[in-house]
């Protein structure tokens, strides 16, 4: 069955002149392999795309530290986009007191640090349409911690957390501190033994098929709203962090550093992984691994500005990592 998008490419919608934004939209359809079944759906998706396109133009005109552009989300409604978010802070199981993290001889911001360059970070993953960002943030923190401890980089199963962490809601959202608490009594399974499905399922945890040598003993809740504390923690290990990601400013990011705290907000709704820090054009930033595939942002990453309070997008508000 031919879709309406395919018909458009064949010239069946060329009876009337296209606007500049519709030409952009046709290129977008080709780039991302989008498929629409009806003229009505095509028109609706074009409308969503045009609104995002206008925002991209506005943001790029007003921002000099970051650049913004289209991605796989540009034809989605706000509700559809927000399904990719899923951080819920209010019910987190936190057994540790917040603490400052200090290390000796932390590299300064100009020198920077990146755990991806030191072997502790798996390739960027894709949570799909499931609001399971909290599980990807969790596994990323554990993957990094285990590599630093053992020299072995493993890929842990997000689906185990989606299905088995009873304090959370799977694709409906959750919190990485609840994952750390779960791992205190359950060993992590591998991505291969518990494949990701991007939907809720029954828990099929199998200790005999888990990494029984990876024993989580607790977690560290890094002091909130403290730039140096998070910097020190990230120098020790990749750190789970929460941000506000429901804005066009974040959604359309492609490169540079997000420095506009007002444009991003601090209503935490998305969990990601801080894997490093650095400085670009005089702006201190945390290097963040997202879970929306390498097609989003800067090859799946985003640089979020550090500051003296909550951090841009709230990146310094709720950091933590598991202990082994």
Report, as residue numbers or ranges, the catalytic residues.
133, 270, 290
pTM exceeds 0.75 for this model: yes
Classify residue 70: in a domain, yes or no.
Answer: no
Classify residue 69: in a domain, yes or no.
Answer: no
Per-residue confidence of the chain (324 residues) as pLDDT tens digits? Answer: 445 555 554 454 555 567 999 999 999 999 999 999 999 999 999 999 999 999 999 999 999 999 999 999 999 999 999 999 999 986 555 655 556 666 667 889 999 999 999 999 999 999 999 999 999 999 999 999 999 999 999 999 999 999 999 989 999 999 999 999 999 999 999 999 999 999 999 999 999 999 999 999 999 999 999 999 999 999 999 999 999 999 999 999 999 999 999 999 999 999 999 999 999 999 999 999 999 999 999 999 999 999 999 999 999 999 999 999
DSSP summary character for residue 121: -
Residue 170: closest CA among 197, 144, 189: 197
Question: Are 15 and 150 found together in one domain?
Answer: no
Question: Are 312 and 183 found together in one domain?
Answer: yes
Question: Are 229 and 299 found together in one domain?
Answer: yes
For residue 57, the enclosing domain spans: 4-62
- Number of compact structural domains in the chain: 2
Question: Are 11 and 50 found together in one domain?
Answer: yes
For residues 312 and 305, the answer to whether their CB atoms sit within 8 Å is: yes
The CATH number of the domain where 208 resides is what?
A: 3.90.70.10
Distance CA 12, CA 6 (A): 9
Classify residue 71: in a domain, yes or no.
Answer: no
């Amino acid at each position: 069955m031919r879709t309406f998008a395919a018909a458009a490419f064949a010239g069946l919608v060329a009876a009337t002149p296209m606007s500049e934004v519709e030409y952009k939209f046709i290129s977008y359809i080709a780039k991302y392999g989008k498929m629409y079944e009806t003229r009505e759906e095509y028109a609706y998706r074009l409308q969503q795309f045009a609104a995002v396109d206008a925002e991209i133009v506005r943001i790029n005109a007003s921002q000099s530290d970051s650049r913004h552009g289209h991605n796989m989300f540009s034809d989605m409604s706000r509700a559809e986009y927000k399904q990719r978010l899923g951080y819920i802070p209010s019910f987190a199981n936190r057994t540790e007191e917040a603490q400052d993290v200090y290390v000796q001889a932390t590299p300064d911001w100009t020198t920077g640090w990146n755990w991806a360059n030191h072997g502790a970070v798996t390739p960027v993953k894709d949570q799909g349409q499931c609001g399971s960002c909290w599980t990807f943030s969790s596994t990323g923190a554990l993957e990094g911690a285990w590599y630093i401890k053992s020299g072995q980089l493993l890929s842990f199963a997000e689906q185990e957390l989606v299905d088995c962490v009873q304090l959370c809601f799977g694709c409906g959202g959750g919190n990485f501190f609840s994952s750390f608490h779960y791992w205190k009594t359950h060993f992590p399974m591998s991505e291969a033994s518990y494949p990701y499905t991007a939907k809720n399922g029954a828990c099929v945890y199998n200790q005999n098929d888990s990494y029984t040598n990876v024993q989580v003993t607790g977690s560290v809740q890094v002091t909130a709203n403290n730039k140096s504390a998070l910097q020190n923690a990230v120098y020790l290990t990749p750190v789970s962090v929460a941000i506000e990601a429901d804005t066009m400013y974040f959604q359309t990011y492609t490169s540079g550093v997000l420095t506009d705290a007002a444009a991003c907000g601090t209503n935490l709704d998305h969990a990601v992984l801080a894997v490093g820090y650095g400085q670009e054009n005089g702006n201190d930033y945390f290097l963040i691994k997202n879970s929306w595939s390498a097609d989003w942002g800067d090859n799946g990453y985003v640089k979020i500005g550090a500051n003296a309070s909550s951090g841009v997008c709230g990146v310094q508000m709720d950091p933590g990592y598991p202990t082994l």
